[in-house]
Amino acid sequence: MNKPAPTIDNHSVMFITPRPELTMVEGNGSWLTDNNGKRYLDFLQGWAVNCLGHCNPGMIEALNTQAKKLINPSPAFYNEPMIRLSNLLTENSCFNKVFFANSGAEANEGAIKLARKWGQSNKAGAFEIITFDHSFHGRTLATMSASGKPGWDTMFAPQVPGFPKAELNDIASVKKLVTDKTVAVMIEPVQGEGGVIPSTKEFMQSLRQFTKENNILLIVDEVQAGCGRTGKLFAYQHYDIEPDIMTLGKGIGGGVPLAALMATDAVACFVPGDQGGTYNGNPLMTAVGASVIEQLLAPGFLESVRTKGELLSKELLSISAEFKLEGERGEGLLRALMLSSDIGAKLVELARDRNPEGLLINSPRPNLLRFMPALNVSEAEIRQMCNILRELLKQVS
């Protein structure tokens, strides 16, 4: 029997978000193509995941080569790409130990467990981790509890206890929450889902000083801001501080499921039985991660991210002036344009549905647009994106 014609029969896909009636079939650099052959300029890149764009040749090569060699010896053994990527990450950061996971949420779960374990061994069972309003740390029960997203405290009640919320860039709000049960502070150097809000240098430095003086760990969640996104390999490097624990996700895999939990020797206190996971450090994904990090570290690459971040910033500022909007903010190629009204969702839809070429952007809050293009996006593509924005803003105003 012949199969029916390939219409979009999506009834078996669990409904978790409204999706347009199309399927994405191909990607190349900053461009996606759907099943109708329509092309989209992609300034979403899988939510800041594809840091080298779609179908990066180095990643494809790493995947193919590794797939032919060894896909999964089990986490009970070392493998070569796992070791290579661990070394790359520790040689280029202040951390000494790496545990690989499959998603940002899972890396953050590991960070929470590691901090609690450290509290058991070093701080009389302290377990509370101070996090921030509007922060986002993932969608497991513990990471939802750690997140400061409005409404998430009751969504799947009861929450995992022990995550009091402070206000970003307000050191007094952190100090107020500290008790003898406080083991750590967990922070996104740039709040991504919260609307691209950078921590100030002054705040981050006083947070590091305060936590150090009070024997409290500092955890940076760099799942979104890490891996070159802000123009340095890691976002904490903008602040001249050294955290105790860092988590990576999204960009580290360049599009494949890979994440990492990193810690200094002083804090890496897991013993056998504490932490694991079937796919942790599997060579197929870590081989891709090694290719990604090597490409980010190539001479001139991070500098080019900073240059392009400045271009995008300048362009967004001039759009803001032209249309009387509220300015822009961000770091490197993680940026937001502040609108003057709640037209974010409308613009996202118009951008996607425009012809002949669509534009993919996102609106984490109703009054702003977020941009997280591939880090190797071209200057011409940045200008093209901004001109499409101008056209759309004319349309809605």
Ligand X SMILES: *Cc1c(COP(=O)(O)O)cnc(C)c1O
Annotated binding site for N(2)-acetyl-L-ornithine, which residues?
A: 139
What is the rounded CA–CA span in Å between residue 273 and residue 278?
13
Q: Residues forming the annotated binding site for pyridoxal 5'-phosphate? A: 104-105, 136, 221-224, 278
Which are the contacts of 23, defined by CB distance < 8 A and separation ≥ 6? 8, 34, 35
Strands, E assignment, 53-187: 97-101, 128-132, 165-166, 182-187
Question: Is the backbone of residue 119 left (phi > 0), alpha (psi -120 to 50) or beta?
Answer: alpha
Q: Which is nearer to ligand X, 189 or 231 (CB)?
A: 189
Only one of the segments 50-58, 72-80, 173-181, 221-229 lies at the binding site for ligand X (rule: CB under 6 A); that segment is 221-229
Helix (H), strand (E) at residue 218? strand 217-221
Only one of the segments 8-16, 102-110, 338-346, 378-386 lies at the binding site for ligand X (rule: CB under 6 A); that segment is 102-110
Backbone angles phi, psi at 27, to 5 degrees: -140, 150
Question: Does 20 sit behind a cis peptide bond, omega within 30 degrees of 0 on the bond before it?
Answer: no
Q: Binding-site residue total for ligand X (CB under 6 A)?
A: 15
Q: Which is nearer to ligand X, 79 or 143 (CB)?
A: 143
Only one of the segments 188-196, 211-219, 343-351, 373-381 lies at the binding site for ligand X (rule: CB under 6 A); that segment is 188-196
N- to C-terminal Cα separation, the chain: 53
Residue 192 in contact with ligand X, rule: CB under 6 A: yes
* Rounded (10°) CA dihedral 138, 143, 144, 148: -90
> Taking the complex as a whole, how short is the minimal distance between the CB of residue 293 and ligand X, in angstroms?
17
Q: Which is nearer to ligand X, 31 or 239 (CB)?
A: 239
By CB under 6 A, name the one of 50, 66, 103, 286 that touches ligand X: 103
Tokens of 29: 């650099």
> Taking the complex as a whole, how short is the minimal distance between the CB of residue 193 and ligand X, in angstroms?
6
Q: Which is nearer to ligand X, 228 or 249 (CB)?
A: 249
Q: Which is nearer to ligand X, 79 or 191 (CB)?
A: 191
Q: What residue has token string 């290579």?
A: 84
Alpha-carbon dihedral sign for residues 184, 154, 248, 168: negative
> Taking the complex as a whole, how short is the minimal distance between the CB of residue 46 and ligand X, in angstroms?
10
Q: What residue has token string 């080019």?
A: 304
Residue 234 in contact with ligand X, rule: CB under 6 A: no
By CB under 6 A, name the one of 99, 118, 136, 371 that touches ligand X: 136
> Taking the complex as a whole, how short is the minimal distance between the CB of residue 360 and ligand X, in angstroms?
17
CA distances for 69 relative to 87, 90, 171, 280, 285, angstroms? 21, 25, 51, 18, 13
Backbone angles phi, psi at 361, to 5 degrees: -135, 180
Within positions 236 to 265, which residues make up the interface with ligand X, using CB under 6 A?
A: 249-250
What is the rounded CA–CA span in Å between residue 328 and residue 370?
10
> Taking the complex as a whole, how short is the minimal distance between the CB of residue 344 and ligand X, in angstroms?
18
Backbone angles phi, psi at 77, to 5 degrees: -125, 150
Q: Which is nearer to ligand X, 142 or 388 (CB)?
A: 142
What is the rounded CA–CA span in Å between residue 166 and residue 179?
13
Only one of the segments 66-74, 210-218, 220-228, 235-243 lies at the binding site for ligand X (rule: CB under 6 A); that segment is 220-228
Backbone angles phi, psi at 116, to 5 degrees: -65, -40
Residue 42 in contact with ligand X, rule: CB under 6 A: no
Residue 119 in contact with ligand X, rule: CB under 6 A: no
> Taking the complex as a whole, how short is the minimal distance between the CB of residue 146 and ligand X, in angstroms?
9
Q: Which is nearer to ligand X, 235 or 392 (CB)?
A: 235
Only one of the segments 187-195, 275-283, 288-296, 341-349 lies at the binding site for ligand X (rule: CB under 6 A); that segment is 187-195
Site string for ligand X, 145-184 (x = CB under 6 A): ----------------------------------------
**Which residue ranges make up the site for ligand X (CB under 6 A)?**
103-105, 108, 136-138, 188, 192-193, 221, 223-224, 249-250
